[in-house]
Amino acid sequence: MPYIPHTSDCVDTMLGRIGVPGVDTLFDEIPTDLQLERIKELPEGQDELTMLRELAELANLDPKLTCFAGGGSYDHHIPAAVWDITGRGEFMTSYTPYQAEASQGTLQLLYEYQSMMCALTGQEVSNASVYDGATALAESILMAIRSSRRAKRAEQLEVLTAAGLHPHYLAAARTCVSGQNIRLRSLELGEQGISRHALPDDNPPLALIVQQPNVFGRLEDIDRLANWAAERDVMLIALVNPLSLALLKPPGSWGEQGADIVCGDGQPLGVPMASGGPTHGFITCRKSLVRQLPGRIVARTLDTQGRTGFVLTLQAREQHIRRAKATSNICTNQGLLVTASTLYLSIMGANGLKEVAARCHEHTLTLADSLCAIEGVKRRFEGPVFHEAVIELPRPAQEVADALAREAGIFAGISLGHWYPELENCLLVCATEKRTASEIDAYARALAEVLAK
Amino acid sequence: MMHTIYDKSKGGRNVSAQARTREHRLDIPDSQLRETPPNLPEVAELTAVRHYTSLSQKNFSIDTRFYPLGSCTMKYNPRAAHKAAMHEGFLGRHPLLPDEFDQGFLKVRMELEAHLKRLTGMAAVSLTPMAGAQGEFAGLSIIRAYLNAQEQETRDEILVPEAAHGTNPASAVMCGFKVREIPLVASGDIDEQALLAALSERTAGLMLTNPSTCGLFEQRICEIAQHVHDAGGLLYYDGANLNAIIGRVRPADMGFDVIHMNLHKTFATPHGGGGPGAGPIGVVERLKPFLPMPYARYRDNASIELEGRFEQGLAAHPSSMGRLSAFGGNAGVLIRALAYVRLLGGEGLRRVSEHAVLAAAYVAKRLSEAGFDLAWPDRRVTHEFVISLKKQHRDHGVTALDFAKRLLDYGFHPPTNYFPLLVPECFLIEPTETEPIEELDAFVEAMIAIRDEAAKDADLLKEAPHDLPVSRLDEVRAVKELDLGVGSD
Amino acid sequence: MSEVPDNLYYTETHEWVREEPDGSVTVGITDYAQDALGDVVHVELPELEAEFVAGEESCVVESVKAASELYAPTTGVITEVNETLESRPELVNEDPYGAGWFFRLIPEESLAASELLDAASYEDMVEDE
C-alpha cells in the first residue's frame, strides 16, 4: 500500500490484539448512514513517475515570460545553497519547536533570523514571522490599536494610510480588522505619486501606515510623516521591502523618533515567487511593545547546567494559552521560508545585499530610460524611486502588455488601470538583478514595435 | 558553548560570490539613505552552509524520528509531492501573471478544488486561506457576512466545546463574535442539554472538531447539527482531525455548513519547523457568494481565470468576505496537496483513515494492557486518543512533562501534552498511518520502561532529557531577560 | 494547603481585598492563585484614576505558562498602584498578601454591602476546585 507500511500480517496482529474482527468495527461509533463505501469521482492512484510527469506538464504548460513585474513579488536570484540547506529533512519535516530540547536547530535559527530582521529594520525586537506581508500589516494594525493609550478613549478606531499603499495589502488588512470596528482611511494621492502634503491637524488617527517605497516605487517623505505622527502620539507603522533596507534608511531611524512597528514580506530574501506563496511576513517593533507582538518569539536562555539554549517565549500571549483573549489567532509561523531567508541573509551579508539592491535599482533605471526613449513613452511621476518605476504609454497599458506577452514573451509589468482607473495608460515596471542588458534591450525594441502598429 | 552565526562573523570576510561589488548609478537623495550598513553576519558561504547544516542536526524531524503528536498528524509526506511543487515551472510564476499565461497553475487549483469538494461533500471550496487558523477566520467571516445579508446582525455568539483548539475562540473574537463554551459529558461527547440551553436567537454558530480534540467521534452529530440549524445557527467544522475519516465520512453529510482543512496535516505538506501550511475552506451552496477572493473558475470550456487576481475594491465583489492575503494563498502547499491526492487516489485516501485509526487503536490497546489509563476507556479511539498519567503522578510524583522529556532520551518526540486541558496530566497520542508496527511497539516499550524508571528513580525523569544538546531550559529567565536577538540588550 | 488570612475579603476569581483605615481598599491575588499560576514574570497595572465597575478587568498577571486578569472586586477609582511589581513581579509569588499587592482603589460603596466572600467561604470554594 503506498506509504502505509502494514502488511496483511501486521494488520491481523493489530486487529487480534485490539480484539476486533475487522477494521470496519473500529468505526462502529460513527452512524452507519454517514459512512460511504467509496467517494465517487475521485481518481485512481498514480505512481510517482506518472504524477511527476503530469504535474511537470502543468508546470511547463504556459510559455515562460521574461518578468519585468514587481508589485510585491520579485524575480530575484536565489543562491544555490539556500534551498539545498533549507530543504534538509531536519528543517523541512520538523514540527513547531514546542519541545525546545529537541528543536534547538530551528530555535537558534529563528533567534538569528530575529536578529537579522532587527538589524535590517532598525528595530529592537522581531517575531518569528507570520503568513505574509499583508497579514503582517493587518496584525501590525491590531497591535498598534492595542498599544495605543489613546485607543481606550477613542470613539472611532481610525487608522490613516499614506497614499500609495499596495491595494492588495489594504484590502487584506481591511478584511482582517473589520471585525473589530477599525476604520482605515487613505491620504489622497498627489501628482507625484506620493501622499499629498495635507495631513490632518485635529482628530489625529490612532496610527499612520507608510509604505516605503510605495506601490509605485516612489520614496515618501518619511521624515516628515514620521515627525508628524510622533508629535501627535500617533503610532507609526512602516511597511517596507526588506531588500530596500540594504540601501534605504531603516524605519527605526525615520524622523526624530523612528517607526513604532515595521512590517513587510520576506519574499525578496531567498523565497521564490511561486504564484505569491508561501512567503513569510515579518514584524519588528520597539521593545516596549513586545507583549503586543503576535506570533512566535524565540529567546536565548540557559539550561539547568548553565549552557546556552533557545526557547519559545512570551507564550502566554498566544491562542493555545489565552484562547479568546490571545493577541491573535495566529498559530503557525512560516518556518521553512524563514529558514530560507536566514540562509539568504547569511550568504549575502550586508555587502552582497546592498549590491543586489543597487543592481535592481540600476537595472530599473536603465529600463525606464530605454523605454522612455521611445516616442510617446514617459515616466509618470517625478522624484526618487527605488527599484520600481511607473511608465506612461500613449494607449491603455493592458492592451500593450498583452501584445508584448503574446508577441515577445515579455511580462511587461503591472497595468495600473486594474487598481487606479486614472492610471489606465500606466505600467509599473521592475528589472531585478536577474534581468540582463539584452533582455532590457529586447523589451524596449518590442515595445517600440508594438506602439508603432 | 553555542555559537550563533554572528559569533562566526568577521568584517570583510564575505566577498560575496553572489554579487561582486561595482560602481552603480544611484540617484537616491542622501536623506533617504541608510547611514551605516545593517548588522548582518559576514561569513564565507561554506561557514553558512556548515553552520545551518549543524543546526539542522539538532532537530528532531519526521525524517529521523517518530512523532506521535496528537492533533498534528505528523505523518510521512511523500517526497514526490515536494518535488512536484519545487518544479521551476511553478516556482517562477509571478502572482499577477495574466490568466492566459498561468493556465498550468490554475488547472492545479481547479483540480484540487474538485477533489476537496468530493472528499468533503461541500458545494464550493476556496483555496486561499494560508493556515488552519486563517481558514477559521475566513469561515467565521463568511458566517458573519451571511447572517448580515439575512439581516441577522444580532446573532453574535459562537459556541465552542470547552476542549476546542485555542484557535477556535481566538478566531471568533477576531471576527467580532462573543464566545460561549459548552461543557462535555462524562462520555466525552458534547453536553447536548447544555448546548440546547445555550442556543438562542443570538447564536451565530457552533464550531466543532469531529472526531473531537479528545479523539472521540461525536456520536450524536446529526442531532447536534439539527439543534443548531433549528436555532438558526450555522455549523463550523474544524478539519484538524480529518485524517480520521478521510475517504469514508464527509463533513457535509454530518450537517456542517462551513469547514476548513489543514493541508499540512492530512494532505502531505511537511511542517517545516512551523509552517507553511494551508487551510482551504469548503462551504454549502447558500454560503458560496461570500467566499474570499481570489477565486479560480472556468471562463469558457478551454480557459480558467483567477477572479479577483487584481484587487478591485469592495464594489467588484460586494458579497465576498474579502481578501485574506496579498495574492492567492500558499500556492506551493496546494501543489503538494494535489500531488498527494493523485498519488493515493480515492482508494488510497480511504486507506489513510483506516490505517490511522487501526494504528491508534493498537497503541491504545497495548498501553492500556500495560496499565496506562485511557481517558475514555469505554469509547472507540479514533486516529488519536488521550491517556492520563494522573496515577503515575500520584504514585511517583512525576508529571506528564517529565514523561515527555524522558521520551526524548528514548528517541521519540513526545505526544501532545496537557491538551485537551480537561484531562489532568494527559498525553494526546496520534501514531498516524505511516509508522510500521515495529515503531509503534518500540514506542509502547519506551512508555513502559519510563514508567518503571519512575518507580525506581523519579529524578531520572525529572531531570530529563539527558542526551540532547541541552537539558531543560529556564523559561522564567527567558521571559525576564528577554534576549530576543543578537544586540537586543 | 494555601494560606487564607482571616482578616481579608475574597472573590470567586481569586483576588483578595483589604479595607484600609483611610477608606480605600487594597487588592492582590491569593496564595492559591499565585501557586496555580506559577512563576509570575510580568504584570500590567491599571492607570491611576482609572474607574472600574465591579467584575471589570483591571489588570493582567502573566506567568510563563499562563496569563490571567485581575477583576475589580468592587466598583471604584484607582488611587495607587504597586509599581515595584513592574521590576520585581516575583513578589506576587513570594509575598502575595504583602509586598505582592497590585493596587488600591476607593470603593463607591462600603464593602460589606457588596458580594465578597469571607475567608471561610473562600477556603470552602478553593477546596472544591
pLDDT in tens, B351-385: 999 999 999 999 999 999 999 999 999 999 999 99
Judge whether A257 and A226 are in contact, CB under 8 Å. yes
Q: Of A266-275, B117-126, C6-15, which range is least confident?
A: C6-15
Q: Where are the alpha helices (DSSP H) in B121-273?
A: 132-149, 167-174, 192-198, 221-230, 251-254, 263-266
Question: How many other C-beta atoms are found inside a 10 Å radius of the C-beta of residue A63?
Answer: 10
CA distance B126 to chain A (A): 15
pLDDT > 70 fraction of chain B, expressed in percent and rounded: 99
Q: Reply yes or no on whether the pLDDT at A156 is more than 90.
A: no
In this complex, the chains that touch C, judged by 3 or more CB pairs closer than 8 A, are A, B
Q: Which of B333-347, B410-424, B449-463 has the lowest mean pLDDT?
A: B410-424
Interface of A with C (CB under 8 A): 291, 315-317, 321-322, 325
DSSP β-bridge partners for residue A158: A183
Give the three-state DSSP class for C40.
Answer: strand
Is the Cβ pair A339, B272 closer than 8 Å? yes
pLDDT at A325: 72
pLDDT of residue A221: 92
Q: pTM higher than 0.80, yes or no? A: yes
Chains linked to B by 3 or more Cβ pairs within 8 Å: A, C
Enumerate the residues of chain C whose CB falls inside 8 A of the CB of residue B476. Answer: 39, 41, 64
Whether the ω angle into residue A213 lies within 30 degrees of 0, i.e. cis, is yes
For residue A123, pLDDT over 70 is answered with yes
pLDDT band at A197 (very low <50, low <70, confident <90, very high): low
User: Which is nearest to B113 in space by CA: B306, B269, B312?
Assistant: B306
Closest-CA residue of C relative to B477 is: C41
Q: pLDDT digit string (tens) for B165-200?
A: 889 999 999 999 999 999 999 999 999 999 999 999
- DSSP codes joined into one string, A187-205: PPB-TTSSB-S---SSS--
Band (pLDDT 50/70/90 cuts) for residue B268 is confident
pLDDT the model gives residue A360: 96
Q: Which residues contact A295 (CB under 8 A, 6 or more apart)?
A: A127, A128, A129, A130, A139, A283, A328, A330, A333
* Predicted complex: ipTM over 0.85: yes
* pLDDT category of residue B318 using cuts at 50, 70 and 90: confident
Q: Is the Cβ pair A14, B361 closer than 8 Å?
A: yes
The mean pLDDT value for C8-32 works out to: 93
Segment B30-35 long-range contacts (CB within 8 Å, at least 24 positions apart): B31/A223, B31/A249, B32/A219, B32/A222, B32/A248, B32/A249, B32/A384, B33/A247, B33/A248, B33/A249, B34/A245, B34/A246, B34/A247, B34/A248, B34/A249, B34/A250, B34/A253, B35/A249, B35/A253
Residues on C contacting B at a C-beta cutoff of 8 Å: 39, 41-42, 64
Alpha-carbon distance values, A381 to A414, B74, B406, C8, C122 (Å): 16, 52, 64, 71, 71
B405 contact residues in A (CB cutoff 8 A): 101
pLDDT band at A231 (very low <50, low <70, confident <90, very high): very high
| Strands of B281-283's sheet in order across | B124-126, B281-283, B258-261, B234-239, B203-209, B157-161, B178-182
Q: What is the pLDDT of residues A85-98, one digit of tens each?
A: 999 999 999 999 99
Q: What is the pLDDT of residue C113?
A: 63
**pLDDT beyond 80 at C69:** yes
pLDDT at B234 over 90: yes
Per-residue pLDDT reduced to its tens digit, A240-252:
999 999 999 999 9
For the sheet with B385-388, list strands across it. Answer: B373-374, B385-388, B426-429, B416-417
Check residue B488 and give its pLDDT: 58
Question: In the structure, what pLDDT confidence band is assigned to residue C112 with cuts at 50, 70 and 90?
Answer: low
Kindly state the average pLDDT of the residues B386-408. Answer: 96
Confidence of residue A201 (pLDDT cuts 50, 70, 90): confident
> Residue A174 above 80 pLDDT?
yes
Q: What percent of chain A has pLDDT over 70?
A: 99
Q: Mean of the pLDDT values across residues C2-12? A: 91
pLDDT exceeds cutoff 80 at B308: yes
Q: What is the pLDDT of residue C129?
A: 67
**In angstroms, rounded to a whole number, what is the distance separating the alpha carbons of residues A88 and B34?**
35
CB B115 within 8 A of CB B338: yes
Report how far residue B277's alpha carbon sits from residue A333's, in angstroms, rounded to the nearest whole number: 9
Q: Please indicate if any CB of chain A lies within 8 Å of the CB of B19.
A: yes
Substitution target from C37, C45, C62, C69 for chain A, most A beta carbons within 10 A:
C62
Q: What is the mean predicted confidence (pLDDT) over C51-76?
A: 88
* Reported confidence tier of residue A150, pLDDT bands at 50, 70, 90: confident
pLDDT for A315 equals: 85
Report the percent of chain B where pLDDT is more than 90: 88
Please, what is the angle between helix A8-18 and helix B437-456, to 10°? 40
Q: Which amino acid is at A300?
A: R
In chain C, pLDDT over 70 holds for what percent of residues?
A: 97
pLDDT of residue C68: 86
The C-alpha atoms of residue B300 and residue B278 are separated, in whole angstroms, by 28
- Nearest residue of B to residue A97, measured between CA atoms: B273
Query: Among A336-345, B48-57, C27-36, which stretch is predicted with the lowest mean pLDDT?
Result: C27-36
Three-class SS of residue B437?
helix
Please return the burial class of A220, using the count of CB atoms within 10 Å of its CB with bins 0-12, 13-18 and 19+: buried
* B476:C39 CB<8 A: yes
The predicted pLDDT at position C1 comes to: 61
User: A178: pLDDT confidence band, cut at 50, 70 and 90?
Assistant: confident
Q: What is the mean pLDDT of chain A?
A: 94
Examine the pLDDT at B2 and tell me if it is beyond 70.
no
Answer whether residue B1 shows pLDDT above 60. no
Backbone angles phi, psi at C107, to 5 degrees: -75, 150
pLDDT tens profile A127-142: 999 999 999 999 999 9
Chain A residues with CB under 8 Å of B48 CB are 81, 343, 346-347
Nearest CA in chain A to B244: A27
Chain A residues closer than 8 Å to C65 by CB: 315-316, 321
